[in-house]
Amino acid sequence: MRNHPIIINPSLLACDFLRLEKSVKEAVAAGVPMLHADVMDGVYVPNISFGFDIIKKTVGVAGVPVDVHMMTVAPWEYIDRLSDAGAYSVTIHSDVGDVCSRRGALAHIRNLGMRSAVALKPGYPASDIRDVIDLCDMVLVMTVEPGFGGQKFMDGMLPKVEEVRRIADSVDPKISVQVDGGINEDNISLAASAGADNFVVGTSFFGAENKKDKYGKLLGAAENGASREARD
Ligand code: DX5
Ligand code: ZN
């Protein structure tokens, strides 16, 4: 039976990089159960963020699992180093390499004891997860074009969240569904009603003066949305 805890997952991309340790500790003190780390290589997406050393140092002070979102070409090149850095989960995109390399990467992530996930950019349909879903613990539905924080949530992605949830349930109800991009207090319940349980929140969380209060509001709104889904 599916019974996912709601996870609010702040994206470090929106934190104060000059005070990374302070930002991580503030987020964890607010109660969040996970942190999201966006690795961008400037090729797969037109932006460069950070790499293994930052992830390792974050893991060292976080005390909560660190979820790594790989926006790079050839993510399979980096899986051992992400494991060494202490990543909890690794997400690769559905449009990198061929199906063989994606399946190999997801299996390797799992073999190293990490959780595996595949991500869909806005232009890619839910059905694109079918050739790898048996190797996934989570599916990420992007609700903005990847590459930058602070963009507007695309509500046109909600039917895709529903479809991904249906496909995942038919394979293994334990598979988690994550949304990432433009999530805030106003739209998080819509994503939860559509079937998401893991919510990456960058700007809305780190931009808040009172992070504990923001976490509570995001969690409450997501729980409301999820209970609407359960009733439908
Ligand atoms: C975008 C990243 C997101 C981003 C989310 O490519 O994958 O994780 O940091 O930030 P907000 O919530 O500001 O859209
Ligand atoms: Zn991300």
Q: What is the pLDDT of residues 82-141, one digit of tens each?
A: 999 999 999 999 999 999 999 999 999 999 999 999 999 999 999 999 999 999 999 999
Q: Does residue 16 fall inside a structural domain? A: yes
Quote the pTM value.
0.98
| Paired residues of 10 in beta bridges | 201
Q: Does residue 227 fall inside a structural domain? A: yes
The residue among 1, 3, 14 whose CA lies nearest residue 181 is 14
Question: Percentage of residues in the chain with pLDDT exceeding 90?
Answer: 97
Using CB distances shorter than 6 Å, the residues near ligand 1 are: 11, 13-14, 36, 38, 69, 144, 146-147, 149-151, 180-183, 200-204
Sign of CA dihedral 34, 96, 40, 15: negative
Is 177 buried (19+), middle (13-18) or exposed (0-12) by CB count in 10 A? buried
Angle, in degrees to the nearest 10, between helices 52-62 and 20-29: 40
CATH number for the domain including 174?
3.20.20.70
Is residue 232 part of the annotated active site? The answer reads: no
Q: How many domains would you assign to the chain?
A: 1
Cβ atoms within 10 A of the Cβ of 229, count? 16
Residue 164: band (very low, low, confident or very high) from pLDDT cuts 50, 70, 90 = very high
Give the CA dihedral 5, 185, 139, 99, nearest 10 degrees. -170
* Distance of alpha carbon 110 from the chain centroid: 17
Q: Does residue 212 fall inside a structural domain? A: yes
Q: Containing H/E element for 188?
A: helix 188-194
Euclidean distance between CA atoms 174 and 52, whole angstroms: 29
Q: What is the DSSP letter of 13?
A: G
Range of the domain at 32: 7-231
The residue among 164, 156, 212 whose CA lies nearest residue 187 is 156
Q: Say what the pLDDT of residue 231 is.
A: 64
The CA 200 to ligand 2 mean position distance, Å, reads 7
Q: Which residues sit with Cβ closer than 5 angstroms to ligand 2, an ion?
A: 38, 69, 180
Q: What pLDDT digit, counting tens, does each position of 65-93 carry?
A: 999 999 999 999 999 999 999 999 999 99
Q: 35 pLDDT exceeds 80?
A: yes
Cβ partners under 8 Å of residue 209, min gap 6: none
Q: Quote the tokens at residue 86.
A: 């202490």
* Mean pLDDT score, 146-151: 98
The CA 66 to ligand 2 mean position distance, Å, reads 12
Give the CA dihedral 200, 30, 231, 156, nearest 10 degrees. -20
Q: Does residue 42 fall inside a structural domain? A: yes
Q: Does residue 2 fall inside a structural domain? A: no
Q: 1 pLDDT exceeds 60?
A: no
Is residue 197 part of the annotated active site? The answer reads: no
The CA 32 to ligand 1 mean position distance, Å, reads 17
| Paired residues of 67 in beta bridges | 36, 89
Q: 232 pLDDT exceeds 80?
A: no
